[in-house]
Amino acid sequence: MCEDFAARTMELTGGVGADVIYDGVGKPAFLKSLDCIRPMGMVISHGTASGNVGAFDLQLLHRIVTRPTLRSWIATRPAYEAAAATFSEALTSGKVRAEINRNYPLSEVRRAPEELQ
């Protein structure tokens, strides 16, 4: 019986996941690779020795596809704290201005996004 490489990878990386996975196997290995790649890591599919990967739920790619989402960039506490410090500095230095030009009572809160549009 083959070892569960996804579980073993997570064990060896302390639950973080691999930086890069090279998959030349295809169908049986591709989805398992997604289970053990670190956030914003890279799975390189370079072969289909056991068959094409086939259709799969694209939501599974959230762990590895790099795109400008806040969730990806502040996934760890140190990354979150660094981003918060950078933003705070930008506010206090005046690089970013947050102007509040309207207030809404809670009963009319739905007006805010409508007026913003």
Whether the predicted pLDDT of 26 surpasses 90: no
The percentage of the chain sitting over the pLDDT mark of 70, rounded to a whole number, equals 91
User: Per-residue pLDDT tens for 63-106?
Assistant: 665 555 677 778 889 999 999 999 999 999 999 887 888 888 99
How many whole angstroms separate alpha carbon 16 and alpha carbon 37? Answer: 8
Residue 19's H or E segment, with its range, is strand 18-23
- Give residue 31's pLDDT band: very low, low, confident or very high (50, 70, 90): confident
CB atoms within 10 A of CB 35: 15
Q: Which of 3-7, 50-54, 101-105 has the highest mean pLDDT?
A: 3-7
Q: What does each C-alpha distance from 48 to 34, 59, 69, 97 come to in angstroms? A: 16, 22, 31, 52
Q: Which are the contacts of 65, defined by CB distance < 8 A and separation ≥ 6?
A: none
pTM equals 0.52
Mean pLDDT (the chain, rounded):
85
Domains of the chain (ranges; CATH) run: 1-66 (3.40.50.720), 68-101 (no CATH)
